[in-house]
Amino acid sequence: MGALSAEEREDYLPMFLKTMLKATVLNEGFILEVSSWGCCAAMLPPGKKADNPWTLFPAGLPGAVLRLKSTGIKRIMVEHGGAVKRAKKKAFTPKEMSEFWYLFIIGTDPGRQRQGLGGILLEHVKAHARSHGRPLWLEASNNNARGLYAKHGFEEVEEITLGVGLVGPDGLAKHDGEGVKTWGMVWRPDSKK
């Protein structure tokens, strides 16, 4: 989202999240919450994608993506999509590529962090995936999240850096920026954690 200013980004994020939550529901996914929305997540079932051509327009995804400007569109559609696809190919067998649950949004109210809510939600999601014998995939967007997921049995597959030279670690435009890091992570139902 480095093409957006800090103010534009602040306006954009709620609309983008609303769009992604709508895409989740239209694709038979789940919206999960813990402790009166202290922590929530969006989870897509195996074989479903938020950018499904049949639900793309009803969810409002084209309009949300177009607001990113050309560099943001390239980063989301090409860089991020390609990097995540490569990481998933490392994590999963060809058969598993259509069998994993995708925990693609998870967040905790900043005022409710460090209360164990993320862990409660992760354990619920893992129990659901385990009952179906399916792995889980997610991308950690910061080191704190990465540590939480690792603590709950997720294994890091690959570090993904986007926008090198264009944005800083916060995703805002920065000349010669170091880029934004995310980590593709997988959890399997036979995991000890």
Domain annotation for the chain: domains and CATH numbers: 6-187 (3.40.630.30)
Task: Please identify every stretch of the chain with a pLDDT value under 50, giving residue numbers as ranges.
Answer: none
The two three-digit tokens of residue 193, written as one number: 């954690």
Residue 109 CB-density burial (10 A; 0-12 exposed, 13-18 middle, 19+ buried): middle
Q: How many helices (H) and strands (E) does the chain have?
A: 7, 6
pLDDT at 62: 67
pLDDT at 78: 56
pLDDT at 147: 95
Continuous segment of H or E residues that includes residue 34 = strand 30-34
Q: For tokens 């992570």, what's the residue?
A: 185
- In this structure, what is the dihedral angle of CA atoms 60, 3, 163, 149, given to the nearest 10 degrees? -50
pLDDT at 68: 64
* Continuous H helices in the chain: 6-26, 56-59, 61-66, 69-73, 81-91, 117-132, 143-151
C-alpha angle 73/74/76, rounded to 5°?
65
The C-alpha atoms of residue 184 and residue 103 are separated, in whole angstroms, by: 11
pLDDT at 54: 84
pLDDT digits (tens, 9 = 90+) for 92-131: 999 999 999 999 889 999 999 999 999 999 999 999 999 9
The C-alpha atoms of residue 47 and residue 28 are separated, in whole angstroms, by: 10
